[in-house]
Every structure is written in C-alpha cells, then in structure tokens.
Amino acid sequence: MTTAEAIPAGTGRETFVLNLGPQHPATHGVLRVKMTMDGEYVARAEPVCGYIHRMQEKMGENRTYAQFLPNTSRIDYLSAMTYTHAFVGAIERAAKLTVPPRAEYIRVITSELNRISSHLVWWGAFLLDLGGFTPLLYAFDDREKILDLLEGITGSRLTYSYYRIGGLYNDVDDTFVKGTRQFVAQMRPRLKMYRELVTENIILRKRLIGIGPIRAELCRKYGATGPVIRGSGVGYDVRKIEPYSVYPEMDFIAPAFPEGDSMARYLVRMEEMAQSLRIIEQGLDKLPAGPVMAEKVPRVLKLPAGDYCYAVEAARGRFAVRIVSDGKEIPYRVKLRSPSLSNLSLFEEASRGMLLPDALALMGSLDLVIPDIDR
Amino acid sequence: MAGGDPAMNAKLPPSIPFQPVDYAAKGCHFEAVIAPDKVVEAAALLDGAGFVLDTITGVDWMAEGQMEVIYDFFRLEEALRVAVRARIPRDNPEIATISGVYPGANWHERETHDFFGIRFAGHPDLTPFLLPEDATYHPLRKDFVA
Amino acid sequence: MEPQNDAQILKDCSPYVKFAKLDELLALGRANSLWPLTFGLACCAIEMMAAGASRFDLARFGAEVFRPSPRQADLMIVAGTVNKKMALAVKTLYDQMAEPKWVIAMGNCAISGGPFVFPGQYAVIEGVDKLFPVDVYIPGCPPRPEALIEGLLKLEEKLTGKRRWPVVTPQ
C-alpha cells in the first residue's frame, strides 16, 4: 500500500497519473477516473463525474409532474420502472391517491422483471470487463425475453414510463401473464447453468474472491446501499426495511453475504435474480381483478406546499425522491437520491493499493450507471 | 420531542429537536430545524447513533432571501427516516461541512455547491463535481439565466 | 494458334475473372466491415449493446468488432447525450479516428439534444452535428436495435450506392 507521498525522493520511482475514461469500455458510461499509479498499484483513484450531466433536477423545476415522468425512466435507464415508481409514489403520497391493488401488483411484477433485466446487463458487462465475452450474449438473450413481455404492455423496450400518477396507463393481458410464467419457468434452469458455468468457474473465483473488500462500516459512512451493503453482510433492503407497495405481502429474502469482497456482491445479485422470480410468481398468483387507475386523479395536479419523499429499492440500491412543492403545478425542487453516487463515493477509499485490474473488478462489482450519478 | 412512536424516539439523539412527521403523507418520520452552526454536532450525534447519510439537498428560497440545506438520514435496522434542516442567508450562503463525520457528504456537498453556490466551510475540495471544471455558474438558483 | 476473339475470351473467362472499379471494391469492403467505436454515452448505449448481442447480431453486417480505441475504428456511433463537459472529448475522439470515417447519430439526444432541451438549459449540446458532420441520423428514444441496423444499412448504401436488401413494403 503506497501513497504518492510515501515514495522517497531521488529513488528513481515516481507515480504517474493514468486517465481512465471518459471513453472506456470498462467504465459503464462516461466516468473518468484519475488514477495516480505506482506501477501497477493504484495509489489514488479519483472519480470525475459530470460528463453526462443532463440537468434532471433542473428539469424537475421546469416541468409539470406529468411532464417530468419520462425523465424518471432516463435517470437510471436499466431500472427505469423502479425510478418511475419512486416519483409517482411520492406524488401519490402527497395527493393522497389510493392506487388500486391490481395496479400495485402489476407494479411489483414489472419492477421485479426490470430488476432481473438490469442484473442481467450487469452480469454480462461485468464478465466482459473480466475478459469473458460469452455470458454477455446469454444474458442479453434472456433479457430480450423480458423486454418482449414488457414491450407488449408498455410499448417500449428500455425507457418505459409505464406507471402513471394514480396507477398504470395500460392493463396487462393474458399474453403477458402466460408469457411471464413461461419466462419464470425457463429462467430458473438458465440461472442454474450460469451458476455452474460462471459462478463456479475457477477463473472468476480467482478474480473476485478476496478482491476489493468493503467493510459494512465503510458502506454506512458513505451511504452505499443495495448489493454493495448486502455484500458486506448488512441485510438492508428498502423492500424489507421500509416496505412500500405490496412488498409486505410477498415472501422473499433479501440475500446478504458477509465476506464484503467482490464475490459477495456478485453472489448477492445472482441470488436476487432468483428471489425476483419468486416475487413475480407470487405476484401473478395473487393478481386481483379490478381497475388499474385511481379514481379522480386531477387533470392539473397541484400538490399542497411541503416536502414529500419516497424511497424504493432499485437494482443498484436505495433510490429516493424528495419533492418540494409550493402549491403550484410545477414542483419547486425535485431531489433525486442516486444509489450509484453513494456506491461510487467509496471507491476512492476502497481501491487504495489495489492492482489496476482488481480495481476495475471492484468498480464492476459496484454496478454503476453513470447517468444515475450525474443526473 | 413531542409525540411519535416511543420505540423510534429511543433511537434519536435527544438534544436534536426532532418533531414527528406524518410518514404516510410525507415519507419521513422525524424532522428537525436547527441553526446552521449546529449541523456538525447533529451529524456527529446521528453518526454515533448509527444513522446513515442519505443525501444532502439544497433549496433556494429566493423570495425569503434564504437557502435551505436538508440533511436526510436513515437507519439500516428498521424504518426510521429523519431530516435535519438548516437555513442560511442567501446573499452569503455558508455552512460547515459534515464530511469530517460522514465522508460520503463530500460529494453531496460538492454537488450542492455546484447547484446553489453554498460554501461548505472546511470542505477539502469544493471544486465543481457535476458541472464543467471551469464553471462559475450555479444553475439551480432561481435567478439563474443560462 | 488461331487468332482469338477478345469478346469470346472475356465470355469464356467470365465465370472465373471479374472486373470492377477499385473504388467500388474498396467501398464494398468498407461497407461490409464497419468497425464501430465503443462510444455509448447513455441509454442508447444499451440498445446498441443489444444490437450487437445475440438476437439482433451486428456480426451479420461485419460490424460487431467494437474497438475501444478510435485509431482502430472507422465508425463512431454517438449513442447518447453529448454535454458540454464531454464535447471536447467527443471532438478529440472524432479527430483521432483515421479517414475514411463515418458518424451515426443514434437517438434523439445525438440528433438534437433530445428530451433534455428546454428553455434555460445549460449543459447539453443540441445535436452532435454541431461538433462534426454526421452521415446517418437514427431517431428514437432509444431507437430499437432494428432501427440501428437500418441506419447501418443506410450507411452502407451511402458507401456503395446500393442497398444490401430491398426495403420491405407492408402488404
């Protein structure tokens, strides 16, 4: 473990600054990391953000509540459903709208499908970073099946904007229900194959076990949530601790692994996919009949003055929305609490003294989506 | 604090003036409005009680000539969200940094400085975080013109 | 030996010897092996990855070799929003690519700033063609992978003058 200051002058050794990004295959978006390197070891890794800053919070002050809804899908486009859920949830809390149960169940089912598709992209891209190309093709094949299901009800493959203030804009049909059950049935053997061929692969194990240990206390100090803190042994999941929608009626576990290394974070996400399949099945079994939109949602929505918050468990961690309203139809302030920002903020401390490929494995195991950081 | 769930009350540091909030309507359990020179002390107390820093939000109350900094915290073991709010004068917005207590506050404070121009006294590196390195503007101020 | 008719020689050889203009051959080679630069900025990048993955398979068109280095790529697919902080990097990457090079602007953000243009916007470049010339524009937010493939076919048509497959008209 060295720092730039620890190298004595005149020894012929010096550190150099290696610039990773903003265009780089391993940074999963436009992230720049200024790495001060001592040979192959990272002395200091300083992330530089802002290369995809798209003024989401400023747009929140320039758009009505309904007009801002499509933005929520684009903040973290891989868990678009959950982000829209947080935004409409905050408004429904404020306007005291009751979402019909059928809509709540469909929201949970689609959020969990979204979680699986997000974890599949993470898994394929992570293995691509580590050097294995084939899992990406398998992951995207499974993901296409999910996207077919979601496209059938929402019309879109990636940025859904499916939830509306008060419910959903479109009900699901039999094709969706049958197709989702078929998907769940064929996904379980696929997860088993991934476990046997990839998770138990000796090369992956050597690349991930013991790499990038993050203690739970570090996660707490930086606010890291999601699979990062669950990979350090703390079973914090917003769906369990601060439940919302119909998650209290679902029987699932939020997997936590105590080791705190990249392998633990990897296993958390693989197990989460299996748990999401369980939630989807239960959701389909319990799906009640009824309307999918609340009654009497005002056409021109004005929230009473005050602050309204809502937190959800997105694929990357805890995503929270705070809407500050001053009684008008345009919010006064929309604050988006981004899980990737908190997860990346501990990278500088956690990557000190690591070898460069290990630091990249650590960064991949944090599962970052950079537009979520930059908003 | 008056009212609120006794089990939750027991987890809160007593010297911060938390008031209970209607969670079903607002999504927060307790809120405290404190003076800006007390934020580091409040953060240290909450850190000692095991809270996690959620985020730091800035709000520009231009009509009132003030800016507000809202610190959100939550607990890992049970549902308990608290918010600590502090108001500072808008024409000279400065508040102490809590990044000595919560290192995660470093980036949140840089972002709030980017958007509002609030100076966090004692912050190790208050350079632009989301805006370009040479940016001198603060876009979320209500009088910002692009 | 008997004197041979030139036309007859050509006709006899035609199954074995082909003639073409060098330009056309080069254009055919370039069109069938466009190597994109890995330049996914935001949401459109995921649809670009999906286009390169198993179902939509850009490998059929010779374009699956995404090169991380601009020196080794000849096609820049700008997939996502370009903002002012990133603009210098994008321009540098474009300048580093060797001629002949082409640019596809994928998605509404690359065409005109997309959904992030509003009065008072301070961060987004309204269209990547404000930085350098674009050959093909693919609208969508995000465009489907099939739309990206169609954009690629249009670029091939621009290079060779002929479309690889006829346009399907709905019955």
Contact call for residues A372 and A337 (beta carbons, < 8 A): no
The pLDDT score that the predictor gives to residue C1 is 56
Residue count (chain B): 146
The pLDDT confidence band at residue A322, using thresholds 50, 70 and 90, is very high
Name residue B71's beta-bridge partners: B56, B84
Tell me if A306 and B26 make a contact (CB, 8 A cut-off): yes
Which chain A residues are closer than 8 Å to C47 by Cβ? 157-158
In a domain, C20, yes or no: no
Q: What is the pLDDT of residues C36-52, one digit of tens each?
A: 987 889 999 999 999 99
CA distance linking residue A200 with residue A88, whole number of Å: 41
* Domain count within chain C: 1
Per-residue pLDDT at B4: 64
The domains of chain B are located at 6-121
Report the C-alpha gap between A214 and A262 in whole angstroms. 9
Q: Is the pLDDT of residue A246 over 70?
A: yes
Of B6 and A124, more confident: A124
**pLDDT for A6 beyond 90:** no
Q: Which amino acid is at A161?
A: S
Asked if the C-beta of A78 comes within 8 angstroms of chain C's C-beta atoms, the answer is yes
Is the residue at C168 inside a domain?
no
Within 35-54 of A, beta carbons closer than 8 Å to C belong to 50-54
| pLDDT at residue number C15 | 84
B71 touches B84 (CB < 8 A): yes
Q: Which two tokens stand for residue A116?
A: 């699986």
Quick one: DSSP state of residue A242? S
Tell whether C144 is covered by a domain.
Answer: yes
Which residues on C lie below 8 Å from A52 (Cβ)?
A: 41-42, 80-81, 83, 86
* 3-state class (DSSP) for residue B71: strand
How confident is the model at residue A231, as a pLDDT?
A: 93
The alpha carbon of residue C171 is apart from the nearest alpha carbon of chain A, in Å, by 23
pLDDT at position C95: 94
Q: Is A31 left (phi over 0), alpha (psi -120 to 50) or beta?
A: beta
Q: Do A141 and C53 touch (CB under 8 A)?
A: yes
Is A287 touching C (CB cutoff 8 A)?
Answer: no
Q: What are the b/e assignments for A182-213, b being 16+ CB within 10 Å? A: ebbeebeebbeebeeebbebeebeebbeebbe
Q: Do A25 and C38 touch (CB under 8 A)?
A: yes
CATH number at residue C77: 3.40.50.12280
The pLDDT of residue A4 is above 60 = no
Neighbours, chain C (3 or more CB pairs < 8 A) = A, B
- What pLDDT, on a 0 to 100 scale, did the predictor assign at position B52? 93
Cβ within 8 Å, pair A50-B70: no
Which pLDDT does position B6 carry in this prediction? 77
Q: Do A144 and C50 touch (CB under 8 A)?
A: yes
pLDDT tens track for A32-65: 999 999 989 999 999 999 999 999 999 999 999 9
Residue B50 C-alpha, separation from nearest chain A C-alpha, in angstroms = 8
- State the smallest CA–CA distance between residue B139 and chain A in angstroms: 8
Can you give the pLDDT at residue C3?
62
Question: Searching chain C, which residue's CA lies closest to the CA of residue B134?
Answer: C85
CA geometry: angle A152, A317, A348, nearest 5 deg: 130
Residues of chain C with pLDDT under 50: none
The 10s digit of each residue's pLDDT in A335-362 is 999 999 999 999 999 999 999 999 999 9
| β partners of residue A293 | A167
Q: What is the per-residue pLDDT for B1?
A: 43
Between the alpha carbon of residue C75 and those of residues A107, C49, C94, C107, C156, the distances in Å are 40, 15, 9, 16, 11
Give the pLDDT of residue A10.
Answer: 65
> Nearest-CA neighbor of B94 among B114, B127, B118?
B118
Kindly tell me the burial class for residue B36, based on how many C-beta atoms sit within 10 Å of its own C-beta (0-12, 13-18, 19 or more): middle
Cα(A17)–Cα(A2) distance, rounded to whole angstroms?
14
Instruction: Using alpha carbons, select from A217, A375, A374, A223 the residue that is nearest to residue B105.
Output: A223
pLDDT score at C166: 83
When CB atoms are compared, the residue of B132, B144, B145 closest to C84 is B132
d(CA B113, CA B106): 11
From the candidates B129, B138, B142, which should be mutated to test the interface with A, based on the most A CB atoms within 10 A? B129
How far is residue B76's CA from residue B79's CA, in Å, rounded to a whole number? 8
Q: What are the tokens at A331?
A: 């919010």
Percent of chain C having pLDDT more than 90?
A: 56
Contact A29 C142 (CB under 8 A): no
- Which residue segment(s) compose the domain that C101 sits in? 36-159
Instruction: Count the alpha carbons within 13 Å of A288 in the hemisphere toward its beta carbon.
Output: 11
Q: Neighbouring chains of B at 3+ CB pairs within 8 Å?
A: A, C
What number is the average pLDDT over the span A306-316? 94
Mean pLDDT by 10 residues, chain B (146 residues): 68 88 90 93 92 94 93 92 94 92 94 93 92 91 88
- Domains in chain A (CATH in brackets) are 56-338 (1.10.645.10)
Average confidence score pLDDT of chain A: 91
CATH for B6-121 is: 3.30.460.80
State how beta strands A333-337 and A306-314 pair.
unpaired
In this complex, how many residue pairs, one in chain B and one in chain C, have their CB atoms less than 8 Å apart? 14
In tens, the pLDDT along A203-223 reads 999 999 999 899 999 999 999
Complex-level ipTM: 0.92
> Where does the pLDDT of residue A321 fall: very low under 50, low under 70, confident under 90, or very high at 90 and above?
very high
The arithmetic mean of pLDDT across residues A88-105, rounded, is 93
Report which residue type is found at B38. Answer: K
Under a CB-based contact definition with an 8 Å cutoff, are residues C152 and C61 in contact? Answer: yes
Which residues, in sequence order, are CB contacts of A42 under 8 Å at separation 6+? A35, A36, A351, A352, A353, A354, A355, A356, A359
Band (A307; pLDDT cuts 50, 70, 90): very high
What Å distances lie between residue A133 and A138, A368, C52, C66, C131, CA to CA?
10, 19, 12, 12, 33
Q: Is residue C4 part of a domain?
A: no
- Residue A8 pLDDT greater than 70, yes or no: no
Q: Among residues C123, B145, C131, B83, which one has the least CA distance to residue A374?
A: C123
Q: A291 preceded by cis ω (within 30°)?
A: no
Q: Which helix (H) or strand (E) holds A310?
A: strand A306-314
Helix locations, chain A, DSSP H = 56-60, 65-75, 80-95, 101-130, 134-154, 174-194, 202-208, 216-222, 227-230, 238-241, 262-286, 339-345, 347-350, 356-365, 370-374
**Cα distance between residue A237 and residue A244, in whole Å:** 11
- Which residues lie closer than 8 Å to C5 by C-beta, 6 or more apart? none
Contacts of residue A148 in chain C, CB cutoff 8 Å? none
Cα of B130 to nearest chain C Cα, Å:
9
> Given this model, what pLDDT does residue A2 score?
47
Which pLDDT does position A215 carry in this prediction?
92
Span between the terminal Cα atoms of chain C, in Å = 60
